[in-house]
Every structure is written in structure tokens, then in C-alpha cells.
Structure 1
Amino acid sequence: MPKPKAGDHFDSLFEYAPISLWEEDYSGIKKFFDKLRASGVTNLDTFLNGHPEEIDHSLSLIKVTHVNRETLNMFGAKSEKELLANLNKIFRDEMRAHWRTELLALWNGEVSWSGDGVNYRLDGEALHIRLHWRILPECESNWECVLVAIENITALKKAEERFHNLFEHAPISLWEENYSAIKREFDSLRAQGVTDLRAHLASHPEAVDRFMGMIRVLEVNRKTLSLFEAMDKESLLANLGKIFRDEMGEHFKNELVDMWEGKTYYEREGINYSLTGEPVNVHLHWTLMPGHEKDFDWVLVALQDVTARKKAEEYLRYLGTHDVMTGLYNRAFFEETLQDLEANRKDPVSFVIVDLNGLKQTNDSFGHSAGDKLIRRAAEVLKASLEEGHIAARIGGDEFILIMPDSNEPKVREMVERVESLVTMNNKYYREPELSLSMGASTSAPGFSLSKFISLADDAMYQSKGSYHRRRRGDT
């Protein structure tokens, strides 16, 4: 079988190439440029700003001399003649934007160019294309032979658009970030002999803020703007210091240690802030994208708003530790506190048992609503009496306790006197029924359990209550 001639061989390579190929003549553009330079034009960009019509004119100066079969297939032409007769349908609209860029490349002496753009099939369907052209070496003086290759990247662009929409409209806050500056700083620290980043940050706490400033935010989605109450991306990025502050520093320090130790994914909960100053509880998912472990230049951060969940948890915790009627701590919290104090015993601890006098008579005479009001008045007095570190709890229907860590007998006597004074004041501002409290106090000492001293305070309270009842009988 005879060997094909070189010319025939290369003609076949061109004709049957699996990519759209065009042979074009740019000599008309070369002459156009020469004419502009002769007229004194030195900056083509400025010239085109003043004469935008010359972009279309220069486009018309291209001569297409031949195209291959894949070109006809890509653009839906039955023949080369049909394609060449309808170039104005193929090269239009968005084509002008990247053609201007091509013109500037040619003006600046470049002999090749690549870029993305949009062309159209003869039936009007838009094609996203990646175009490459090269002035062939033998034609660099006159631009008469230019090879153009066009890739159809429509499927790629649609996939990119699909994933962009998934990102943009995701129901959680998404951030694309670049951590490459942090990676370079890590490499520098290791070169200096640092092996324990946590210890390094402990001795250089200012480094945490410096590391935070190295993060470059590439993109955020719509949910991010709404979550942090930002008008637009620009205002969000200009105010990152308002969003990531306070508690964020400690969380970020732990994240840095994770990165230093080679983790490519982690989750944490923390607090950020909206641009209006409202705290936003977030569950953070941090992912170093696969293939970017070497330079950290692509990181995906997902922030899930868990503020409502946190508020619900806090409310449940409140209900579990507080008496709903009075707002004081409840018996469960009192018992847990007592266990903690016993386990970490540090005498003296003083206790005051408080009993509300006359609650049954108030309920019988004025109704349970009045009785509830009397209970709340007692709680108000006790809360007003507390000093820092003291605890007041309602441990029964009409019974309360004050816990005073690190308080001796003189301190507890001061507390009882303060409560009595506040009761007198309270009764001046409320009509009947009268608020009256019986109290008993004790102060712990080594050798007995704290429960023993609570019993002693309880006994003292009942002695006081007996005196109250004797006084009441004497009044009658």
C-alpha cells in the first residue's frame, strides 16, 4: 500500500480532527492595525473605547478559508458553503466581548490566544466554547494563515452553572476560602523549629489574630448574606471583624491546631455575630478540598444556624434548674449544688433555711392567686438579698434555702438581717397579705457533712416559726 504524501496526510489530520478547526486569514486586521498606527494610535484600548463600532468592523475583516467536518457538525451546517454564508449568525452578541480581548492581544504582538466565549449554531442554540488561535510561524509577518481550534464546553459550563446554583441557593451558609497564606506561615514556623503549635500560640497569643487575617474569602452564598444580615457580599467582606470576634478566637485557635496536625475536616460549634450585633450560634463544618492539601488554596466552610436549637436547649436547661413561678433555682439544682460543694469541700459554707409564714391562711382567705403572689414576693426579697456567689433556691411549696459559700457566722447573720430589712420594706409597698418569713441559719465546720448543717438550719427555722406562731396567738 503506497505511503500517503505529507500534504495529503496533514489534510486528513485537519479534516478528521475530533475538534473544530478553522483556517483563517487575519491579514485584513494586520493592515487595519498598520493604518491605525500610521494615524498616530498608540493605545488600542483607548481607541476602541472611543470607536466601539470598530470592533464589529475588525471582526468582518477575518477571512475563513477552510473548516473541518467537526466544525460543520458543531454548528449544524450541511456544508462549508452554508457555514461561511452565515458567519454573522455564528459570531454575534457575546462574541464581541472576547473579540475585543483578542484584538488587544494581537495589537500587543501576541501570536497566540486562548479564552472562553459564546458562539451560536445555525439553528440559534448558544454554544459555550473555548477558543485557541495561533498565527502560524510562516505567516507572522502578514497574518495570512491562522489556525483556530474551538472546543465545545457547553456541557462543562452547564455543569458549572448547576453546581454554582447548588452553592448559591444552598439552605445553609457556604464560604469558599483560601488558606494558602496560613499554609505558608505553617511551613515557616516548622522551618524555625516549631513543633507544637498550641504551645506556640499560648506564648504568642497575638498570632491567632494574625492567622485570622490571612484567610481570604473567595465566595459566599445567599444564605450567608441573610444569616449575617448583610446587604451584599461587599458589605459582608468589609465587616468580617464584626462577625468573627470574641469567643471566635478560642475556637479558631483549636482549628489552627487541627490544621497543623494534618486534619482536613472538622466540626465545631461556636458563636458568630450578625452585622446588627446579634449573636448567631453556628455549627461549623470545615473541609480542605481534596487535591489542595499541598497549599490550602481551596477550603469549603459550611455554617449551620443552630441559634433556635441553642435557645431551646438553654430554655430546657433553665426549666430543669429553675422554679418557673419564682425564677429561683429549684430543688434539683440545690441538690446538685450541695453534692458539688461536698465533693469540693471548703469550709465555711453557711445556709439559711427560709419558710414563708401564713401561706395556707392566705390561700384560704384570699385565694391561691394571692398565695402565689406572696411566694413571688418572698422570692423577690431573697434575690435582692444575694451577694455574688450566693444561691437562692425554692425547695418546697413555701420553703427556700440560701447557700453562702465561703461565708462565716457573722456573714450569715448579716444576711438574715438584710432579709428581714427587705421584708419590712416589701410590706410597705404591698397591701395585704403581709409577707412574713421564718429563718434559721448554720455555718459548716470540718467533721460533719453539709447535710448535717442544713438540718441544724432547718431546726433553727422551726424554732423561729414557733416564735412566730406564739406571737400570732398573742396578737389574737
Structure 2
Amino acid sequence: MIDRACRFTSSIHTGASRRRHVRMNEMADIFHLAPIAMWIEDFSAVADQFERWRQMGVTDIRRFLQEDRSRIAACTSLIRVVSVNRRTLEMFEADSLEQLTAHLSCIFRDEMVDRAVDELSALFEGATEFVGCTVNYSLSGRRMDIRLRSAVMPGHEQNLDRILLTTEDVTEREDAHRGELLQRRYAEGLFQHSPVSLWVEDFSSLKARLDGLRADGVSDIRAHMEANPDFVRDGLRQVRVIDVNRATLELFGASSIDMLMEHVTEIFGDDLERPFRERLMELWNDQFSGQREVRAYALDGSERYLVMQFSVLPGYEHDWSRVQMALTDITARKQAEARLEYLGRYDVLTGLNNRAFYIEELSRIDRQPEAPVSAVMIDLNGLKETNDQFGHDAGDTLLRRLGEVLGNTVRPPCHAARIGGDEFAILMPGADEPSASVMLETVLDQLALNNERHAGPPLSIAIGAATREQGEPIDSLLRRADAAMYHQKRIVRTTRARLPREMRSLVP
């Protein structure tokens, strides 16, 4: 009976031992067949080192290690690798545990040393688990970003002789993250260093307001804005500026974004309401980009002509929370265009209209044959003689003075023009013969006043006028005005010729 009991008890122990053995084998299989790299390491020597440092009075282990990097290396050299699984050997390109441990200095180096501070600090402070990121290298030198997880195995918390670590290769993910950061920096660089003024704005509050109008049944935003004049101004105030680039500050002469925002209403003033109204209509109709010309002012008051381009950035069409506005400075171009337009219309020396404008105005008048019109033709007397005797500067002075006389006399819809070297004309749309006579008298009065104010050779002109007769071609009118002018010139010449030489200068 006793022998049977002993055999039964022995069989129980044998069965339990067998089951434990099976479980251990199963755990070993799980470890070695795991799809993630796993390590079992012995940190007991590190724990002994920690104890010696505690006895020295070390409490802030992180600061202690960072003060002398050799202490970090001393700690990591005390770690003993007990076992690794197959995935670890594959990941680090090692054929065996022996080959792996023989080259640990190649695997754990560079950034790894500094990042080991986090794990060592956690263990020193009693943590039994740790998660962090580090960098390892395969035996061929391939750099790997590693997601490190470590846990002190149960029952080994005191001496840290068994710590389970997993090293997950997250290089692909980190490369993508680094690529994203590079792209972001690239985009930020393009934004900040663009030679064009760039603004990033938030229109989300404005969109919510427009959505509310749709919900209330508004279908015609133009009619709504006309019926509610404050809508556009209120909408402008709802736009929030998120950022501007350097070119924007330079364009408007602001030293900072805060300074720019403080004076933004002075920069754009009321000139922004019209283009903003048009932009609202485009956005209402789901047109997420557009451009137009606007006028603005720098902080020193100088005028800026700009091409404004706006676009809702891709991915933000649902809420308009990111809208880019680009301002291209076309001030120089506008000034050049204005200069060219001036040169195409005006005579630079006299400031009067030039011959090109005169011909164009004649064509316009000729298209209205029934309308009354008068023409005054003028010749500047003695220009060649003045140029020959006193030089061309003196002749130019006479031309400028006659330009001043006619500029002070002629007002729209009449136009005075220099049509040749010493030839001038006044076109008077809608003017009858008495009006033409008054113009002649006014020109001569202004001429007399100009001669009183200026020293040097006096202005002398020959002048004649004519008024169009019913159905008369414009060319015929000009010939009659020209003939009247030359008739007056001949009378002056005859009168001067009959006077003694010393009195001829008295006749203009």
C-alpha cells in the first residue's frame, strides 16, 4: 500500500516536471520564433555599479552620466547578452550569437551612447519597463532606427540579471517622418524666401457665415451684399492672418508681423473692399482661386500697385482654413506704362498734347459731322532766329512758355496740342464762332501776361481760328484756320517791315 502511494506520488512529480519542461520548451520556441527581434540581457553588473554610485551620494543619475560620457560607456560595457532570437540575428546580419556579441561595439555606437542615458536613468530610479527610440547598426554598417522596449523579468527586479528587450526596426517609418520634415522645411523655405509677398489666411469663420446664409435661403450673394453694405467690411474683419513672409514685410516697409498687422487697414484702406467683394462671389460659387489688380500703400505712404492672387490650399476646400494670398508688386511696371502713356499722348517739352493725340482727336471729331467745332492754329514766331542767335536752350524756353500759356488757357473739352516744331493747335468740340473768338482773345491776354513775367526774348505768335460750317469736312476746317493764322502772320510781317529797325521789336 505504501509502495503504491510512493509510486503514485512519484508519478505526480514526474508529470509536473514534464509539464514544466514542455512549457519551458514552448516559451523557448515562442522566443526564438517571434517575428520581432528579442534579446535577454543581464544587467546585474550595471545594478552593482548603480549601488556603488548611490553609496557615493549620486541621486541625479541623468545629470551624473551627462557630466562624463565615459560613465555611459562604462555602464553599457557591463551589459551581458544572454540570448537573442532568430529575428535578431537576421536583423543585425549575424550568423550566431557569438558573432553578434563579438561586434556589439559596431552595433551600439554613435547616437546610441547618448540615448542610453534614458534607459539607464529609468532603471536607476526603479522602473521595470522602458520604451524609447535609439539607433543601431547592422554588422554591414546599415543604420537602423529602433523602437526599443525593455522589461525586467518577474523575480529579477533586485539584481536585474534578466531583462527582456525588443528592438523593432522602424527605419522606414522614421525615413518617411524625416522626409515629411524635409518637405515641410522646404515648403517653409519657399514661403519665407519667395521674392513675392505671400500671406496665409484663415477664412473658416467667413465660410461658416456664408454657409449660414445658404441655410437661410440666400441664393444671390451679390444682391445680398448690395442690400447689406456692411457685409463686406464685416467679412474682412473675420479673415485671420496666420503668417506672412519676409517679402511682405519688405514690400510694405514693416519691421515685424506685429507692426504690419497694426497698420493693415492703413495699407489696404477702402481699396480692398471691391476685390474682396469679388473674391467672396468667387468663393460662393466654389471658385477657389482668382486674381486681380489692387492698390495699397507702404507704411511710408508710398503707393503700391499689386497683382493679388488668392487660392484655397488643397485639402482645405471644406473649411477654407488655409488660404494663400500672393501679392506681386507691379508698381514699376505701372509707372512705366503711365510714362509710356504720357509719352504717347503728351509733348514732353511743353506738357501739351502731342501730334498723335491731335490726330486721334481729329478722327473722333470727324465721326460727328453735325456737331459744332472750332479750331485755332498757332505759330510761334521767331523760333529759328532765337535758336540761331541764342542757342536751342533759349528756343526750348520759348516753347515751354507757350506751353504754359496754352495750358493755363485751354480747359476740357477743348485740347491744346503741339503738332510740329513751332506749330500748335487748339481743338474746340462744341464751340461756335463767338467761343473761338473768346479763345483767341484769352490766349493773347495770357501771352501778354507771360511776357511781363519773363525776361529775355518776348513770345510772339501768329494765331487764326475757324468754325466748321454745316457738313464741312474736318480737313477743310483746319485749312481755313491755318489760312487765317497765316493771314495774320503776313499782316504782322508787313507792319514790322514798314517800321524803322529800332521799333520792329515792339510789334509782337
Q: Which residue pairs with 2:387 in the alignment?
A: 363
| 1:376-391 aligned within 5 A | 376-391=400-415
For the Cα contact (< 8 Å) 1:349–1:403, is it kept in 2?
Answer: yes
Identity of aligned residues (%): 35
For the Cα contact (< 8 Å) 1:168–1:222, is it kept in 2?
Answer: yes
| 1:32-431 aligned within 5 A | 89-90=114-115, 152=174, 153-343=177-367, 347-431=371-455
- Residue among 456, 470, 479 paired with 1:455: 479
Following the alignment from structure 2 to structure 1, what is the Cα–Cα distance between the partners of residues 195 and 411? 47
Flag the structure with higher helix content: 2
Following the alignment from structure 1 to structure 2, what is the Cα–Cα distance between the partners of residues 184 and 6? 60
Q: Which residue pairs with 1:439 in the alignment?
A: 463
1:239-284 deviation per Cα after TM superposition (whole angstroms, max 9, x unaligned): 2112223443333333332223322222322222211111112222
Shift of 1:398: 0.9
RMSD of equivalent CA atoms: 4.7
Following the alignment from structure 1 to structure 2, what is the Cα–Cα distance between the partners of residues 315 and 448? 37
Following the alignment from structure 1 to structure 2, what is the Cα–Cα distance between the partners of residues 293 and 91? 46
Alpha carbons of 1:292 and 1:438: their partners in 2 closer, same or farther (altered >3 Å)?
A: same
Shift of 1:233: 0.8
Following the alignment from structure 2 to structure 1, what is the Cα–Cα distance between the partners of residues 301 and 368? 39
Following the alignment from structure 2 to structure 1, what is the Cα–Cα distance between the partners of residues 321 and 408? 56
Alpha carbons of 1:209 and 1:427: their partners in 2 closer, same or farther (altered >3 Å)?
A: same
TM-score normalised by the chain length of structure 1? 0.68
Where in structure 1 are there 5+ consecutive unaligned residues? 18-52, 61-67, 94-117, 124-128, 134-146
Tell me, what secondary structure is at the counterpart of 1:168? helix
Give the number of aligned pairs. Answer: 395
Shift of 1:223: 0.8
Following the alignment from structure 1 to structure 2, what is the Cα–Cα distance between the partners of residues 422 and 463? 22
Alpha carbons of 1:6 and 1:282: their partners in 2 closer, same or farther (altered >3 Å)?
A: farther
Following the alignment from structure 1 to structure 2, what is the Cα–Cα distance between the partners of residues 181 and 378? 62
Alpha carbons of 1:461 and 1:291: their partners in 2 closer, same or farther (altered >3 Å)?
A: same
The residue type paired with residue 89 of structure 1 is D
Larger radius of gyration: 2
Alpha carbons of 1:464 and 1:206: their partners in 2 closer, same or farther (altered >3 Å)?
A: farther
Following the alignment from structure 2 to structure 1, what is the Cα–Cα distance between the partners of residues 369 and 210? 46
Shift of 1:380: 1.2
For the Cα contact (< 8 Å) 2:267–2:296, is it kept in 1?
Answer: yes
Following the alignment from structure 1 to structure 2, what is the Cα–Cα distance between the partners of residues 8 and 221? 60
TM-score normalised by the chain length of structure 2? 0.64
1:354-406 deviation per Cα after TM superposition (whole angstroms, max 9, x unaligned): 21122233233333332222111111111111334432210111111123344
Alpha carbons of 1:155 and 1:6: their partners in 2 closer, same or farther (altered >3 Å)?
A: farther
Tell me, what secondary structure is at the counterpart of 1:213? helix
Following the alignment from structure 1 to structure 2, what is the Cα–Cα distance between the partners of residues 16 and 293? 45
Following the alignment from structure 1 to structure 2, what is the Cα–Cα distance between the partners of residues 425 and 253? 53
1:301-326 deviation per Cα after TM superposition (whole angstroms, max 9, x unaligned): 22221211222222222222222222
Shift of 1:12: 8.0
For the Cα contact (< 8 Å) 1:321–1:330, is it kept in 2?
Answer: yes
